[in-house]
């Protein structure tokens, strides 16, 4: 039988998000509700400059958000390049539950959100606006590896690209059902209209309730190219452990574009139906948070190729 409940999520800030998810899981709640509530934490935190409110803007100064969610029945919903809404994950859930579609983008996604009663807000904080203006001085788009992880990050240099830090969360509930959520403001200072892996079902997130779930963080273009999260889940279906599956997905990225891979970070995180989890990243410094009835604050350093 499944060893739930359990929730895992990307990066150190996953610890706080997991606490919110755990409140639902520990009371026998549904994994879908847990992941939605969990990722609300970084989405609503204006100090977090990589997810939701307070996220770094694109190069035109607009904060555009990407998010998707997937449940145990293969239902999924997604929004991309959504502006002015603090909790894109909940708009993604509404797309899943209230429309015949999977994905809404840009203006249409905003229109739908407003119709659903979400409030239009300004997401650009003075801090993120300042960082953007600083960036405009050089306008160089060059992601810095692990800038999101303070213990590993090279010093932030003015004019350097701040790498972005997505929250991907996977949960297994008491009934043994799996769900996942992924939400981000995307790569800082991206082109207006750029969409990353995070809202793409199969790239930034995938859940198959028979097998497991996977999510990704890092430079989304390389994840999309390799349909990363779907690949991880399919490898688990073939018998790979979560960590082995994440490693193989990373190796595909490295093999396809070795020169690119050296310069960027991509990390995968996976959870299988048995409650086993694992991660693997191109570069050192990828962390994730684990929460179950034994341990509520565990931050694990993922293994890496370099
Ligand atoms: C993107 N994958 O938009 C996201 C960014 C990210 O850690 O996860 N950074 O490509």
pLDDT digits (tens, 9 = 90+) for 140-169: 887 666 554 443 333 333 333 344 489 999
Q: Is the CB of 196 under 6 A from ligand 1?
A: yes
Structure tokens at 220: 């989304």
More confident residue, 84 or 153: 84
Atom 6, ligand 1: which residue's CA is nearest? 218
Confidence of residue 100 (pLDDT cuts 50, 70, 90): very high
- Over range 177-187, report the average pLDDT: 97
Residues 6+ apart with CB under 8 A from 187: 143, 161, 163, 164, 194, 196, 219, 220
More confident residue, 3 or 223: 223
Whole-number Cα distances in Å, 133 to 56, 60, 129, 140, 198:
11, 10, 6, 12, 26
| Per annotation, catalytic residue among 166, 183, 215, 217 | 166
pLDDT of residue 296: 84
Neighbouring CB atoms inside 10 A of 291's CB total: 27
pLDDT of residue 295: 86
Q: Is the CB of 80 under 6 A from ligand 1?
A: no
Q: How far does residue 306's CA lie from ligand 1's centre (Å)?
A: 19
Sheet holding 212-218: strands in order across? 205-208, 212-218, 266-272, 277-281, 303-304
Atom of ligand 1 minimally distant from the CA of 204: 2
Q: How far does residue 228's CA lie from ligand 1's centre (Å)?
A: 13
pTM of the model: 0.94
Query: What one-character DSSP code corresponds to residue 201?
Result: B
Residue with tokens 């249409």: 108
Q: Which among 138, 149, 145 has a CA at the least distance from the CA of 219? A: 145
Q: Is the CB of 72 under 6 A from ligand 1?
A: no
Note the pLDDT tens digit of each residue in 208-253: 999 999 999 999 999 999 999 999 999 999 999 999 999 999 999 9
Note the pLDDT tens digit of each residue in 33-61: 999 999 999 999 988 889 999 999 999 99
Q: How far does residue 126's CA lie from ligand 1's centre (Å)?
A: 22
- Confirm if 209 and 215 have CB atoms less than 8 A apart: no
Atom of ligand 1 minimally distant from the CA of 165: 7
Note the pLDDT tens digit of each residue in 258-282: 999 999 999 999 999 999 999 999 9
Q: What ipTM was assigned to the predicted interfaces of this complex? A: 0.98
H/E stretch holding 41:
helix 31-44
- Over range 16-40, report the average pLDDT: 97
pLDDT of residue 81: 98
pLDDT of residue 165: 84
Question: Is pLDDT at 107 greater than 60 in this prediction?
Answer: yes
Q: What angle do CA 78, 247, 22 make, to 5 degrees?
A: 50
Q: Which among 192, 164, 204 has a CA at the least distance from the CA of 56? A: 164
Across the chain, what does the average pLDDT equal? 92
Our answer to whether residue 166 is catalytic in this structure is: yes
pLDDT of residue 217: 96
pLDDT > 90: percent of the chain: 85
**First-to-last C-alpha distance (Å) of the chain:** 36
Q: How far does residue 121's CA lie from ligand 1's centre (Å)?
A: 23
Q: Is the CB of 222 under 6 A from ligand 1?
A: no
Q: How far does residue 131's CA lie from ligand 1's centre (Å)?
A: 18
């Amino acid at each position: 039988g499944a060893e739930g409940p359990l929730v895992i999520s990307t990066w150190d800030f996953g610890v706080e998000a997991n606490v919110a998810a755990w409140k639902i899981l520990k009371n026998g709640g549904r994994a879908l509700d847990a992941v939605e509530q969990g990722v609300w934490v970084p989405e609503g935190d204006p100090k977090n400059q990589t997810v939701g409110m307070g996220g770094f803007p694109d190069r035109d100064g607009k904060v555009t958000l990407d998010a998707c969610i997937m449940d145990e029945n293969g239902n999924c919903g997604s929004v991309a390049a959504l502006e002015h809404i603090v909790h894109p994950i909940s708009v993604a859930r509404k797309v899943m539950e209230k429309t015949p579609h999977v994905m809404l983008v840009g203006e249409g996604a905003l229109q739908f959100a407003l119709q659903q009663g979400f409030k239009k807000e300004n997401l650009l904080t003075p801090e993120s606006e300042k960082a953007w203006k600083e960036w405009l001085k050089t306008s160089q788009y060059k992601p810095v590896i692990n800038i999101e992880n303070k213990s590993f990050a090279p010093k932030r240099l003015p004019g350097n690209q701040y790498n972005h830090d997505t929250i991907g969360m996977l949960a297994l509930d008491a009934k043994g059902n799996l769900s996942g959520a992924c939400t981000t403001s995307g790569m800082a200072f991206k082109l207006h209209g750029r969409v990353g892996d995070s809202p793409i079902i199969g790239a930034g997130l995938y859940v198959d309730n028979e097998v497991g779930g996977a999510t990704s963080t890092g430079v989304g273009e390389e994840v999309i190219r390799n349909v990363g999260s779907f690949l991880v889940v399919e490898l688990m279906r073939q018998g790979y452990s979560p960590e082995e599956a994440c490693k193989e997905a990373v190796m595909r990225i490295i093999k396809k574009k070795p020169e690119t891979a050296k310069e960027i970070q991509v990390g995968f995180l996976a959870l299988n139906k048995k409650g086993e989890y694992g991660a693997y990243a191109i570069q050192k410094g990828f962390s994730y948070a684990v929460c179950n009835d034994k341990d509520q604050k565990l931050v694990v350093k993922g293994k890496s190729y370099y």
